[in-house]
Amino acid sequence: MRDYRAFILDLDGVIYRSERLLPGAREFIAWADASGRKLVFVSNNSFATPAEVTAKLVRLGAPAPEGRVLTSGAAAARLIAARRPGGSVYVLGVPAVEGMAERAGLRVVWRDGMDAPTPDAVLVGLDFGLSYDRLRRGLRAILAGADFIGVNRDPMLPVEDGFDPGTGSLVAALEYASGRTAEIVGKPAPGIMLEALRAMGAEARETLVVGDGVELDIVAGHAAGMDAALVLTGMSTRAQAEAATGLSKPDYVFDGIGDLLTALRGE
């Protein structure tokens, strides 16, 4: 294996599964820290804040996650802020996403109506308070030329008793209405991976993406110019990895993150 100096680690199916850390996760993080390698944890969740995800990692006993968690909502806010420093944004999403935009240095406008000039960007996440009027504000901003950014394109959101409409269904509604195509940040788009690289101050060629989904993590990692390893503790199976082609074909396949650690140590 190459001597990777930085790692972008997916969480669900790589580091934990629901409420337990996966075997080898704690050892992997400890090894990376002790050997001076960089790492960042990424989650495609469009409404959890990095602080909430960090709190879960602390609760499960992962070593020192503070300041090393990037969610797709936060990545989208940071991408807009990098392009439009101090700019304004209309957020079609939960208050947590508005908070992420503010922490990225953006001004959140049009919360209660079109009471300010057209925002620089529209950020579409999951909006549990969606109304026709909120959808209309998003459309008006997009038609007026605002950047159109979607947190992810998930069609549905799995919940306890079935499925709810996902962020992608809101993005699609505005794409259909406006005739414009949103720029997506979350996996399988490369945006979240590029933000993770930027957050670590690492180069793509020295970084390995580790994920459990060939169509999500592996595609996103490759699209961002990095090598990508699949672990079989989550979504994708070995048969799916072997059948994958193009961007979704992993460079390495391991039973779990513990086996990746063994390979990296050259054991």
73, 81 contact by CB (below 8 A) = no
Of 12, 147, 217, 259, catalytic: 12
Comparison of 120 and 217: residue with beta carbon closer to Mg ion:
217
- Binding to Mg ion by residue 147, rule CB under 5 A? no
31, 261 contact by CB (below 8 A) = yes
Question: Which residues neighbour 143 within 8 Å (Cβ) at sequence distance 6 or greater?
Answer: 178
| Least spacing, CB of residue 73 vs Mg ion, in Å | 16
Half-sphere exposure of 175 (CA within 13 A, CB side): 14
Half-sphere exposure of 209 (CA within 13 A, CB side): 37
Comparison of 78 and 187: residue with beta carbon closer to Mg ion:
187
Comparison of 104 and 244: residue with beta carbon closer to Mg ion:
244
Comparison of 15 and 89: residue with beta carbon closer to Mg ion:
15
| Least spacing, CB of residue 43 vs Mg ion, in Å | 8
- Total chain residues near Mg ion (CB under 5 A): 4
- Binding to Mg ion by residue 13, rule CB under 5 A? yes
Q: Rounded CA gap, 196 and 221, in Å?
A: 11
Q: Rounded CA gap, 177 and 254, in Å?
A: 44
| Least spacing, CB of residue 202 vs Mg ion, in Å | 21
Which bin fits 113, alpha (ψ -120 to 50), beta or left (φ > 0)? left
- Binding to Mg ion by residue 154, rule CB under 5 A? no
Annotation marks residue 12 as catalytic: yes
Which span (13-21, 105-113, 221-229, 245-253) binds Mg ion, by CB under 5 A? 13-21
- Binding to Mg ion by residue 12, rule CB under 5 A? yes
Q: Which residue has the tokens 């391991």?
A: 254
| Least spacing, CB of residue 221 vs Mg ion, in Å | 12
- Binding to Mg ion by residue 10, rule CB under 5 A? yes
| Least spacing, CB of residue 22 vs Mg ion, in Å | 11
* Secondary structure (DSSP) of 26-44: HHHHHHHHHTT-EEEEEE-
**Which residues from 206-245 bind Mg ion, rule CB under 5 A?**
212
Which span (3-11, 201-209, 247-255, 256-264) binds Mg ion, by CB under 5 A? 3-11
In a 10 Å sphere around its CB, with 0-12 CB exposed, 13-18 middle and 19+ buried, how is residue 235 labelled?
A: middle
| Least spacing, CB of residue 217 vs Mg ion, in Å | 6
- Binding to Mg ion by residue 98, rule CB under 5 A? no
Q: Rounded CA gap, 174 and 93, in Å?
A: 13
- Binding to Mg ion by residue 250, rule CB under 5 A? no
Element (H, E) at 262: helix 257-264
Q: Which residues bind Mg ion (CB under 5 A)?
A: 10, 12-13, 212
- Which residues does the annotation mark as catalytic? 10, 12
